[in-house]
């Protein structure tokens, strides 16, 4: 088995990426009707083409909940993977240009990155089939629910956060997509995300496997 470069070595060699979703004090909208969580409209995506791989090393997402006046309203943050499909078909969204984690190198990524979707997204498998995302790998979730002790009005959640910082980051091998969602059963004010990963040709990141 060959010795693959460590994450630190990959970052030093220019393979680290940093993407910020939402700017300064303004969170992003999108994500479905009235900003309610919708599998067809992620808040952001990092889509990996065939022949390449990524390892997510940090995802920090914060949702700004709206005001609720009912029991059992939910605000949710979800980080997930479609392990078989790449985002190729355009949808109304905001393109994102990741920063290199070695700041003397140019911005950009081999991955297709976007945020604030306001139209349904379609992903494409290696066989060319087009479909809505299939979230077959969930990497993290946080959910909060209101519970009134008595009649109440204008109850507000505090910010709902999901911090994903794995000790052993998965190998996400293209075609595949890493997707972030936040929303709930009530309209959210907005949200933010910080996403960091290392990327490169699959042959660089992956160890050789006998018989493959």
- Whether residue 110 is predicted with pLDDT greater than 90 in this model: the reply is yes
∠ CA(84), CA(82), CA(64), 5° rounding?
165
Whether 108 contacts 15, CB under 8 Å: no
Q: Which helix (H) or strand (E) holds 44?
A: strand 44-48
Backbone angles phi, psi at 192, to 5 degrees: -135, 160
- Summarize the confidence of residues 181-207 as an average pLDDT: 88
Question: What is the reported pTM?
Answer: 0.89
Q: Can you give the pLDDT at residue 107?
A: 97
Question: Higher-confidence residue: 162 or 76?
Answer: 162
Going by pLDDT thresholds of 50, 70 and 90, the confidence category of residue 205 is very high
- Summarize the confidence of residues 106-117 as an average pLDDT: 95
Winning range, highest mean pLDDT, from 33-47, 49-63, 69-83: 49-63
Whether 152 contacts 69, CB under 8 Å: yes
CA nearest 47: which of 8, 96, 3? 96
Whether 153 contacts 146, CB under 8 Å: no
């Amino acid at each position: 088995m060959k010795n693959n470069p460590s994450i630190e070595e990959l970052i030093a060699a220019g393979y680290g990426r940093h993407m910020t979703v939402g700017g300064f004090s303004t969170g992003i909208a999108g994500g479905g009707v009235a900003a309610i969580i919708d599998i067809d409209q992620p808040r952001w995506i990092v889509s990996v083409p065939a022949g390449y791989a990524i390892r997510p090393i940090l995802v920090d997402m914060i949702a700004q909940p709206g005001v609720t006046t009912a029991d059992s309203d939910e605000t949710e943050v979800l980080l997930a993977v479609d392990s078989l499909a790449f985002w190729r078909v355009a949808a109304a969204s905001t393109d994102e240009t990741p920063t290199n984690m070695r700041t003397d190198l140019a911005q950009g990524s081999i991955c297709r990155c976007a945020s604030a979707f306001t139209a349904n997204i379609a992903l494409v498998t290696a066989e060319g089939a087009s479909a809505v995302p299939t979230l077959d790998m969930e990497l993290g979730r946080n959910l909060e629910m209101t519970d009134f002790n008595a009649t109440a009005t204008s109850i507000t959640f505090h910010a709902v956060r999901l911090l994903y910082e794995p000790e052993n980051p998965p190998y996400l091998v293209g075609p595949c997509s890493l997707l972030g969602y936040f929303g709930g059963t009530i309209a959210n004010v907005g949200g933010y995300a910080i996403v960091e990963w290392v990327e490169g040709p699959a042959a660089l990141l992956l160890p050789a496997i006998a018989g493959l």
